Amino acid sequence: MKKLSENASNKNYEEPKETFGAILAQMKLSSLEILPTLLAIAAAFSAGAVLLLITGYSPIDAYGAMLIGAFGDKFGIGQTLTQATPIIFTGLAFLLASKSGLFNIGIEGQLIVGGFAAAIVGIYFEGLPAFIHVPLALLSGALAGGLWGLIPAILKTKLNAHEVITTMMLSYVASYLTSYLVNYPFKAPGWVAQTTTIAPSAELPRILWPTQLSVAIIIAFLLAIAIHYFLEKTKLGYEIRAVGFSPMVAENNGIDVNRKMILALVISGAIAGMGGAGEIMGVHRRFIDGFSPGYGWDGIAVALVGRLNPIGTIFVAILFGALRSGSMTMTRSVGVPLDIISMLQSLVIICTATPTVFEYFTKRRELK
């Protein structure tokens, strides 16, 4: 009779799954089928429906309005995709850091500084032709975000400071810092806390008039594919994944663990920064204080629900984008407060974090 994994027979408690990456990998492994994800989403929406009922709204009207608003017409679809765009960036950013075992919850801050850097380059480097100006601005956004990821990376690898707290704190710092900058030195004349508009040569062209959808979404798609390729088909990606699953084994086999962690976190920040840049260059065309309604947080949710898979991330990002754009219609027509969205999102995460009842029972049987 075939003897299964040693783990099954003698131990009566589970093997340590130490790294965050390993745990999330388990999620991916057992759920390459989308069924559990769909179940989680369904569960979340059901819970949301209950909440709506309790607070006096009809779930059918609410969800219906959301659907129509999100996908009903060209404007709706454009809005959906526009809202989805920065979330794809932040989702990918979180995903990449996670692959190396690091929990980058400061992507909001990295997004913001990226947006700001792009705005500055967009404003003050006029006279450049668009085909130089645009990449330059995008790059500076990535650089700023990368820098914002470098700081916690070094703190983690050299000083063992937990990246959950440091990235979170830096997120606040980013928020306040840019707020200061846009309220004082870089403020445009007028009441609003924003900069002047960026030069036209730094704008990302819009692709679906009259919506705000810009080329940024194309960049996001390409980035997703690039990341997938990077992780699966390149040496660095392989090493990052190794580090994420088991730093000790990786080190024992010649991989420089610290360097890979730093690399992952920096790239992660850079992606988020690029997302911020895309948002500024494509949608707002100037830096506005508080322009991000929490894209960083959405990114975390999206990456987790998308099972840390770049393609999955895109789909879930579009779902979240639909929630956001549809919610505006919903609020207008049915009157449900906008925050039902963030609740639905967080419910989806919680439902995803909990291994499904099905998985729970199969795991129990294995160990007995």
Classify residue 201 by its DSSP letter: G
Q: What is d(CA 213, CA 75) in angstroms, rounded to the nearest whole number?
A: 10
Of positions 49, 67, 136, 179, contacts other proteins by CB under 8 A: 179
User: Is 8 a binder of other proteins (CB under 8 A)?
Assistant: yes
Number of residues forming the site for other proteins (CB under 8 A): 91
23: contact with other proteins by CB under 8 A: yes
For other proteins, which is the closer residue by CB, 18 or 126?
Answer: 18
Under the binding rule (CB under 8 A), the answer on residue 2 touching other proteins is yes
- Among 13, 131, 191, 209, which residue sits at the site for other proteins (rule: CB under 8 A)? 13
In whole angstroms, give the CA distance from residue 155 to residue 52: 44
Report the b/e string of 200-211 with b at 16+ CB within 10 A.
Answer: ebbbbebebeeb
Please report how the helices 216-233 and 74-99 are oriented relative to each other, as an axis angle in degrees rounded to 10.
Answer: 30
Nearest residue (CB) to other proteins, 29 versus 209: 29
- Kindly tell me which of 9 and 209 has the beta carbon lying closer to other proteins: 9
CB of 184 vs other proteins, minimal distance in Å = 6
Instruction: Say whether 288 sits in a helix, a strand or coil.
Output: strand
Q: Which residues of 347-359 are buried (b: 16+ CB within 10 A; e: fewer)?
A: bbbebbeebbeee
Q: What is the pattern of x (binds other proteins, CB under 8 A) and - over residues 65-94?
A: ------------------------------
Q: Helix/strand/coil (H, E, C) string of 304-361?
A: HHCCCCHHHHHHHHHHHHHHHHHHHHHHHHHCCCCCHHHHHHHHHHHHHHCCCHHHHH
How far is it, in rounded angstroms, from Cα 359 to Cα 323? 28
**Rounded (5°) CA angle 124-208-314:** 90
Q: Is 3 in the site for other proteins (CB under 8 A)?
A: yes
Within 292-311, the residues that bind other proteins by CB under 8 A are 297, 300-301, 304
For other proteins, which is the closer residue by CB, 86 or 282?
Answer: 86
* Nearest to other proteins of 186, 203 (CB atom): 186
- Mask for 147-176, x = binds other proteins (CB under 8 A): --------x---xxxx-xxx-xxx-xx--x
Q: How far is the CB of 301 from other proteins (least distance, A)?
A: 7
Which residues in 218-257 contact other proteins (CB under 8 A)? 233-236, 238-239, 241-242, 245-246, 248-256
